[in-house]
């Protein structure tokens, strides 16, 4: 998408930038500072949303803002201490913020993608930033979802998955943290179905970018939009984030704690995610470029999280398997599928890396199929085939 890497509140913007630059934030006024309030109102049952074949026994936990810090120019930084042990910060720029004219330090302060130095990426960045119109504050409290899960599910033969469809760059199982950032652009495709169930089968799906070890399934960090699945579970595309390692899983959370943000069908979404090893910081940024609504946040991840950047993933997912199906979506195309190398911070296209095409289903029975990578090396179509597969 933008070809710029947010790391630790700063950005790694071009191939010539070889080390992450961490910008200090000039926050000087504490508006509120209190311990988080955590309430457990009850238990529910939720379906899975990402990188697994099912989710059960989810718990909804209410988390309140721990502090709100005001910046010198009138923006605010909201901080939440989450039950999983992470700390979430949500920067919200002032009403007169204009990313096109903002300084590099101001862009970094509000976790916006940095201004690229090369002309091709600069044009893309300018188009995205010119679409920006608003960034509303997060709520004072929000429901945090907890639950157990199962990861990536493989289906024979090679090149097939029971739940993933799309492409990943890199080599699964290599043990190498090859990638530290990922960008992608996708529409929120129109859905034929007007219900989350069909003939007794639950329908849900998600479109997301992530950094993981793909087929190994042990660790994953992602952001995307979900249909008929957590965190909301209704008939709209809901932005979400999630990361997991082993038996630990944050679950699918409202994107940057924005509990009322939905992406209308037909709108186009830009997604960017990155990771900085020290201080174990995940950065998320997403823009609905059709409306201009933008949100971003950062997570200081807990001690249990182990990052893997062996693969960079552009995935459309059938979120669960048994008694679940894939919603009937209009054919759409991923665009600007690029990833940042850990070796030097440069951004490269999907096609320039070792890559794997993944079909959802099994040989002779597919639910969705990714098309060939385009001539630009960073785009490909996704085509829905069936609600369920049988092999």
**How do residues 102-119 score in pLDDT, each as one tens digit?**
999 999 899 998 888 777
Is the per-residue pLDDT at 27 higher than 90? no
ω into 207 cis (within 30 of 0):
no
**Mean pLDDT of the chain, nearest integer:** 83
Which among 57, 229, 34 has a CA at the least distance from the CA of 141? Answer: 34
Q: What is the mean pLDDT of residues 204-231?
A: 89
The phi and psi torsions of 377 (rounded to 5 degrees) equal: 80, 0
| CA-to-CA separations, 208 to 20, 38, 53, 151, 270, in angstroms, rounded | 25, 29, 16, 15, 10
Q: Does domain 5-384 have CATH number 2.40.50.140?
A: no
Tell me, what DSSP letter sits at residue 383? E
Contact between 367 and 384 (Cβ < 8 Å): yes
Other CB atoms within a 10 A radius of the CB of residue 387 amount to: 17
pLDDT top residue among 60 and 332: 332
pLDDT recorded at residue 150: 46
pLDDT recorded at residue 81: 97
pLDDT recorded at residue 247: 83
Domain boundaries, given as residue ranges, for the chain = 5-384
Tell me which of 101-110, 142-151, 374-383 is least confident.
Answer: 142-151
Is the per-residue pLDDT at 50 higher than 80? no
């Amino acid at each position: 998408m933008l070809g710029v890497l947010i790391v630790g509140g700063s950005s790694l913007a071009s191939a010539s930038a070889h080390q992450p630059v961490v910008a200090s934030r000039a926050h000087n006024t504490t508006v509120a500072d209190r311990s988080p309030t955590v309430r457990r109102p009850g238990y529910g049952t939720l379906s899975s949303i990402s990188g697994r074949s099912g989710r059960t026994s989810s718990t909804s936990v209410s988390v309140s803002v721990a502090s709100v810090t005001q910046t010198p120019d009138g923006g605010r930084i909201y901080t939440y201490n989450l039950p999983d042990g992470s700390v979430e910060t949500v920067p919200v720029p002032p009403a007169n913020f204009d990313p096109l004219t903002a300084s590099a330090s101001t862009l970094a302060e509000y976790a916006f993608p940095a201004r690229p130095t090369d002309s091709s990426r600069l044009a893309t960045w300018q188009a995205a930033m010119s679409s920006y119109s608003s960034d509303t504050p997060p709520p004072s409290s929000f429901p945090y979802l907890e639950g157990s899960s199962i990861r990536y599910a493989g289906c024979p033969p090679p090149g097939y998955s029971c739940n993933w469809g799309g492409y990943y760059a890199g080599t699964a199982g290599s043990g190498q943290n090859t990638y530290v950032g990922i960008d992608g652009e996708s529409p929120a495709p129109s859905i034929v179905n007007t219900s989350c169930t069909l003939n007794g089968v639950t329908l849900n799906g998600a479109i997301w970018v992530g950094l993981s070890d793909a087929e190994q399934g042990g660790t994953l960090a992602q952001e995307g939009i979900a249909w008929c699945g957590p965190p909301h579970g209704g008939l709209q595309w809901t932005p979400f984030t999630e990361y997991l390692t082993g038996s630990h899983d944050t679950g699918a959370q409202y994107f940057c704690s924005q509990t009322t943000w939905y992406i209308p069908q037909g709108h186009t979404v830009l997604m960017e995610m990155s990771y900085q090893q020290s201080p174990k910081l995940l950065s998320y940024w997403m823009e609905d470029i059709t409306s201009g609504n933008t949100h971003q946040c950062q997570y200081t991840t807990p001690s249990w999280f182990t990052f893997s950047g062996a693969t960079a993933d552009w995935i459309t997912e059938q979120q669960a398997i048994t008694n679940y199906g894939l919603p009937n979506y209009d054919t759409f195309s991923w665009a600007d599928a690029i990833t940042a190398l850990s070796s030097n911070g440069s951004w490269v296209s999907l096609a320039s890396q070792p890559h794997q095409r993944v079909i959802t289903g099994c040989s002779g029975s597919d639910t969705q199929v990714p098309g060939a990578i385009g001539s630009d090396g960073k785009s490909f179509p996704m085509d829905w085939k069936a609600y369920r597969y049988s092999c």
